[in-house]
Amino acid sequence: MSVILEVKDLCKTYIIEKRQNNVLKNVNFKVEEGDMIAIMGPSGSGKSTLLYSVSGMDLPTAGSVIFDGKKLEKLTSNELSEVRLNEMGFIFQQMYMMKNLTILDNIVLPAIESKKNGESKAEKIKRAEDLMRKLSIIDVADNDINEVSGGQLQRACICRSMINKPKILFADEPTGALNRTASTEVMNELIKLNEEGTTIIMVTHDAKVAAGCKRVLYIVDGNIKGELVLSDNEKLTAADRERKLNNWLMDLGW
């Protein structure tokens, strides 16, 4: 497997009222194609900052993020936008969507903006509908965003993130605002996408969700304190994976 994302000595510092706050301190890790990584850690440890920094949504104070051979910190704002539009997908905890558009329109909007696949508008709309069908939300395609449940909305966000066939998907607590059932549904969809070849990096507090990933990074005070591999090779059941993860987390002081 080739490395799709490499993080080298990543630092992120915020200055708040003349006080320096070092959120990320020399973070290093690599992500291979087809990987599915969960980033865990206590509140304020720098998980989300790490996710936003490695996804090019925020620029690091120091260090480097190499995505698909490109140093993100060297790209211009427009080049970064191109990368985010065509090669990355994003899922946010709060299920943000454009409020005046229907679910389908929200999903298809980035596809129409993208010139990547050379498809016609009709083909893009069809692909969006296929994705919605796959995630079982085709019935709400023409609904407004406030006419659907949280689970449906988050699945719509996943559709939107996948519409331009990204190489990597970033998810910031994708199940954080969902109940247990919806959370399981969304996680199953993400696992399915990963099985189809999409690389996923997600931030989560939920050990059950993280247990579905292949690797877990544990971050404390801006440093990666440990990494757990939950490879399929071990042939563990879901319950065993969760137990193994919980034990590991407890060892790290979770």
Partner 1 sequence: MYLRILKKDIKRKKTMNIILLIFTILASVFVSSGVSNVITVMNGTDYFMDKAGIGDYIVFTQTGDGGVEDILKKSANVSDYKKEKCYWATKDDLTLSGKKTEMKSNTLIIQRLEDTGIRYFHTDNTEVVHVEKGEVYVTAGFLKNNNIHKGDEIQISLHGVNNSLKIAGEIKDALLGSDMMGNTRLIISDEDFELYEKEESLNQFSGSIFYADTEHVKKLSTEVSGAENILFEASRDKIKLSYVMEMIVAMVVLVLSVCLVLVSFVLLKFVITFSISEEYREIGVMKAVGIRDFKIRSLYIIKYMAIAVTGGIIGLAAGIPFGNYLISAVSEKMVLGNDSGLSVNVLGSAIVVFIMIGFSYMCTGKVKKATPVDAIRSGQTGERYTKKSVYSIKKSHLGNAFYMAVNDVLSAPKRFVTIIFSFFLCSLFVFGLVEVADTMKSDRLITTFGKKSDVYISDAKLVKMDFMSYEGNISLPERYRQIENDLESLGMPGKVSMEVWYMYPVTVDGETTSVVLQQNKETSADEYEYIKGTAPGNAKEIAITPQISKKLNVHIGDKITINYGEEKVESMVVGYFQTMNQLGEVMRIHEDAPARMENASAMMAFQIDFDEKPDAKELSERIEKIKDYYDVEGVFDSAGYCDDCMGVADAMDAVAKLLLVITCIVVVLVTVLMERSFIQEEVNQIALLKAIGFKNRYIIKWHVIRFMIITIVSEIMAAALTYPVTKLWCDPIWNMMGATHVEYYFKPLSLIVIYPGIILGINFIAVLLTALYTNRITSRDMMNIE
Q: What is the DSSP letter of 140?
A: G
Site string for partner 1, 232-251 (x = CB under 8 A): --------------------
Please state, in angstroms and rounded to a whole number, the distance separating the CA atoms of residues 222 and 155. 30
Contact 228, 248 (CB under 8 A): yes
Q: What is the closest distance, in whole angstroms, from the C-beta atom of residue 220 to partner 1 in the complex?
A: 20
**Helix (H) / strand (E) containing 95:** none
Please state, in angstroms and rounded to a whole number, the distance separating the CA atoms of residues 146 and 100. 10
Please state, in angstroms and rounded to a whole number, the distance separating the CA atoms of residues 49 and 44. 9
- Selected from 31, 41, 63, 90, the binder of partner 1 by CB under 8 A is 90
Query: In sequence order, what DSSP letters do the residues of 143-200 get, joined into one string?
Result: SBGGGS-HHHHHHHHHHHHHTT--SEEEEESTTTTS-HHHHHHHHHHHHHHHHTT-EE
Task: Decide whether 61 or 246 has the Cβ nearer to partner 1.
Answer: 61
Per rule CB under 8 A, is residue 86 in the interface with partner 1?
Answer: yes
Site string for partner 1, 40-79 (x = CB under 8 A): --------xx--x---xxx------------------xx-
Please state, in angstroms and rounded to a whole number, the distance separating the CA atoms of residues 53 and 103. 28
Per rule CB under 8 A, is residue 81 in the interface with partner 1?
Answer: yes
Please state, in angstroms and rounded to a whole number, the distance separating the CA atoms of residues 232 and 65. 28
Burial of residue 59 (CB within 10 Å: 0-12, 13-18, 19+) is: middle
Task: Decide whether 146 or 237 has the Cβ nearer to partner 1.
Answer: 146
Question: Total number of residues binding partner 1 (CB under 8 A)?
Answer: 41
Site string for partner 1, 142-181 (x = CB under 8 A): x-x-xx------------xx--x-----------------
Per rule CB under 8 A, is residue 139 in the interface with partner 1?
Answer: no
Q: Hey, which residues between 104 and 133 contact partner 1 (CB under 8 A)?
A: 104-105, 108-110, 112-114, 125
Q: What is the closest distance, in whole angstroms, from the C-beta atom of residue 205 to partner 1 in the complex?
A: 16
Positions touching partner 1 (CB under 8 A) are: 48-49, 52, 56-58, 77-78, 81-86, 88, 90, 92, 94, 96-102, 104-105, 108-110, 112-114, 125, 142, 144, 146-147, 160-161, 164
